[in-house]
Structure 1
């Protein structure tokens, strides 16, 4: 698989970039990416100092960013990423199955489920050590 330059696609930057690397991509279908969870991540300062746990909302954000990558690579390649924006439009039926801790490698899997004009529904799952930690449906709206 070719190297994918995440920073040239996503508008997010530190401290709000939650995708480190794309490890698998099938055009128009799916994408698998990695978020390395580190003690250095800013959110562990307050969540929680005595027992650091990655907030569920940030797992959702990581999955949304992976979804944006999939949609850009499928429908926006060759276009200016600044004019091809993916906006989180909804989350449905999210379940958090396990905690995610510093040192974990979060595997993000997103699959296109349904499309209607510029609205995309994706099935998303996050794993640590092949164990499901979060899953749910994300809706992304593409706009300029």
Structure 2
């Protein structure tokens, strides 16, 4: 059985509330529900954050690499739970053991890997690893909660 999933941007936008300039996942490449998800973000010079980070030396902010992993985690959870999530959102609740290994620059294709660690009730714990050309650029553990939009 192939793990290829190939979820395009239209489907991603149906799952995530994020929009430009904060939608940081372009395509889902592989999915094993309840196990892992692999997605990608094409990093281009057109990203608005490169105007100020840094002029003459464009580097993707590490917090945005983490956000891309978190969004990947949201897609993973939405495709791993059995019940319909409907009007719920996926909110970051914590990050641990984060390491930034190498700068991400325009022209890079950021491969976003999220691995299930555990979940209890509405809290999910995952491990994320972002790579460019097979080299780890960012990694960490994060947790998130599935919450009702109306409770916010």
- Normalised to the residue count of structure 2, the TM-score between the two structures is 0.90
Q: Which runs of 5+ in 1 are unaligned?
A: none
Partner of 1:70: 76
Unaligned runs of 5+ in 2: none
* CA distance in 2 between partners of 1:79 and 1:132 (Å): 32
Are 1:51 and 2:42 matched, yes or no? no
> When the two structures are aligned, how many residues end up with a matched partner?
142
Q: Secondary structure at the match of 1:87?
A: strand
2:89 equivalent to 1:114: no
Matching of residue 21 in structure 1 with residue 27 in structure 2: yes
Instruction: Note closer, same or farther for the CA distance 1:2–1:25 as it changes in structure 2 (3 Å cut).
Output: closer
d(CA) in 2 for partners of 1:2, 1:52:
32
Kept in 2, the 8 Å contact 1:35–1:108? The answer is: yes
SS at match of 1:64: helix
Give the structure-1-normalised TM-score: 0.95
Q: Residue 108 and residue 77 in structure 1: after superposition, are their counterparts in 2 closer, same or farther (change >3 A)?
A: farther
Q: Does 1:11 align with 2:17?
A: yes
State the alpha-carbon separation in 2 of the partners of residues 33 and 76 from structure 1. Answer: 21
**Contact map agreement 1:72 1:84 (CA 8 A) in 2:** no
